[in-house]
Chains A and B, each alone.
Chain A
Amino acid sequence: SAVISQKPSRDICQRGTSLTIQCQVDSQVTMMFWYRQQPGQSLTLIATANQGSEATYESGFVIDKFPISRPNLTFSTLTVSNMSPEDSSIYLCSVANGTVGEKLFFGSGTQLSVL
Chain B
Amino acid sequence: AQSVTQLGSHVSVSEGALVLLRCNYSSSVPPYLFWYVQYPNQGLQLLLKYTSAATLVKGINGFEAEFKKSETSFHLTKPSAHMSDAAEYFCAVRRSGGSNYKLTFGKGTLLTVNP
A interface residues (Cβ-Cβ under 8 A, vs B): 4, 6, 31, 33, 41-45, 48, 58, 92, 94, 96, 100-109
Q: CB of B8 within 8 A of chain A?
A: no
Residues of B contacting A103 with CB < 8 Å?
46, 49
Residues of A contacting B108 with CB < 8 Å?
42
Residues of B contacting A43 with CB < 8 Å?
44, 90, 103, 105
CB proximity of A78 to chain B, nearest CB, Å = 15
Overall SS of chain A's interface: strand
B interface residues (Cβ-Cβ under 8 A, vs A): 32, 34, 36, 42-46, 49, 51, 90, 97, 99, 101-103, 105-108
CB within 8 Å: A-B pair count: 48
A-B residue pairs in contact (CB < 8 Å), sample of 6? A33-B102, A43-B90, A45-B102, A48-B101, A96-B101, A102-B32
Name which residue of chain A comes closest to B49, CB basis. Answer: A102
Rounded to whole angstroms, the CA-CA distance of A6 and B103 in the bound complex is 20
Residues of A contacting B46 with CB < 8 Å?
103-105
Known: A48-B102, A103-B46, A104-B46. A42 touches B34 (CB 8 A): no
Rounded to whole angstroms, the CA-CA distance of A94 and B99 in the bound complex is 15
Residues of B contacting A94 with CB < 8 Å?
103
Known: A100-B51, A104-B34. A92 touches B102 (CB 8 A): no
Name which residue of chain B comes closest to A41, CB basis. Answer: B107
Residues of A contacting B42 with CB < 8 Å?
108-109
Contact B103 A45, beta carbon cutoff 8 Å: yes
CB proximity of B106 to chain A, nearest CB, Å = 6
CB proximity of B88 to chain A, nearest CB, Å = 10
